[in-house]
Structure 1
Amino acid sequence: MDVELDFFCADGVTPAIDNEEAQRLIRLVLEDRNVERDCMVSLSFVSDDSIAELNGTWRNNPHPTDVLSFEMEHPWDEDLAQDEPCELGDIVIAPDFVAHQATEFGTTEADETRLMLVHGMLHLLGFDHMNESDACKMQQIEDAILARMGGDGTLTEAILTRHRGEEA
């Protein structure tokens, strides 16, 4: 399985992880979910204002948030040509929002960003957290993947996903 990552940082925005680490983490998520097909993912780091605008447009909630995911294709879709990569979709993360959240949860910005990337990837693969059971399942997967990745050691569990009860 090959991963093609389009890594974008808006002007003035500095993510807590780099392209190489993001690609390793995306690969871990895909391996964990038994995805064998080549995949493409777009990862953008934007300002709180930009993510608030996206959140307002797509979720009718005009406030900043930590991560948004926009699904495109699913790797198990039988209509996709076998020799073409799957365009999973776009993940958008707001580093300033994530930094604030890291302080709130007692983690590092890097660990919190890793969690948001795993969380976003799981959404691209069809997971959500609309009910307690789904939220717990998503948390268990996040925890297992993050444990395999390592990190700064401040994020020992996803703390029952920060997005419990929100629309996916």
Structure 2
Amino acid sequence: MAATLDMFCEDTAHPAIQQEEALSIFNAVLEERGILRECSISLSFVSDESIAELNEEWRDVAAPTDVLSFEIERPNDPDLAEDEVCELGDIVIAPEYVARQALDFGTSAADETRLMLVHGLLHLLGYDHMEEHDAIIMQRIEDKLLQILPTDGTLSATVLTRHREDA
């Protein structure tokens, strides 16, 4: 099955990748994770100010961040009919924040955006990194996924470790 993508960009937000690539990344992740059900994903690119407001409202953190995910349904939800589309949820990315972060990690804004797409989608699929053990699992999955992403061949050596001190 394939994912469908509803993408929104605030006037001041300029993502480093195009909608077609975001959709192909989502499809690659869902396929690799063995998700056979058709899934719908909402993706928004917003300003640092907008993501800071969301971050404060939902996480009580009064600061911008790179990506937020808001889960709605999971593909294995027993309440979904067999042929019903799963509305996975919303991923919100702040391109300006991501671009600055890319400089800090020595990556490109496009590669950092790719990582945020993978990271955000994994959250929608139920993964988290609140505990060290879970962070290690999530990072390993991210590492694996970034190696198989359909890109134009320009994917750099993205530094993935954001949750562990030793890597």
Task: Judge same fold: TM > 0.5, yes or no.
Answer: yes
Query: Given the two structures, how large is their TM-score scaled by the length of structure 2?
Result: 0.93
Moved more, 50-59 or 130-139: 130-139
Q: d(CA) in 2 for partners of 1:156 and 1:14? A: 21
Letter in 1 for 2:48: D
Q: C-alpha displacement at 1:157, in angstroms?
A: 4.3
Q: d(CA) in 2 for partners of 1:153 and 1:43? A: 21
Q: d(CA) in 2 for partners of 1:133 and 1:13? A: 34
Q: d(CA) in 1 for partners of 2:39 and 2:158? A: 28
Letter in 2 for 1:155: A
Q: C-alpha displacement at 1:153, in angstroms?
A: 3.4
Unpaired segments ≥5 residues, structure 1: none
Matches within 5 A, 1:13-162: 13-149=13-149, 150=151, 152-158=154-160, 160=161, 162=162
Q: Retained in 1: the 8 A contact 2:29–2:145? A: yes
Q: C-alpha displacement at 1:96, in angstroms?
A: 0.3
Q: C-alpha displacement at 1:154, in angstroms?
A: 2.4
Structure 1 runs (4+) greater than 6 angstroms displaced: none
Query: Given the two structures, how large is their TM-score scaled by the length of structure 1?
Result: 0.93
How many equivalent pairs are there?
163
Q: Retained in 2: the 8 A contact 1:110–1:152? A: no
Q: C-alpha displacement at 1:163, in angstroms?
A: 4.8
Q: C-alpha displacement at 1:131, in angstroms?
A: 1.4
Q: C-alpha displacement at 1:12, in angstroms?
A: 1.9
Calculate percent identity across the aligned residue pairs.
61
Q: Retained in 1: the 8 A contact 2:112–2:158? A: no
Unpaired segments ≥5 residues, structure 2: none
Q: 1:94 to 1:130 in 2, by over 3 A?
A: same
Secondary structure in structure 1 of the residue aligned to 2:141: helix
Q: Retained in 2: the 8 A contact 1:130–1:164? A: no
Secondary structure in structure 2 of the residue aligned to 1:4: strand
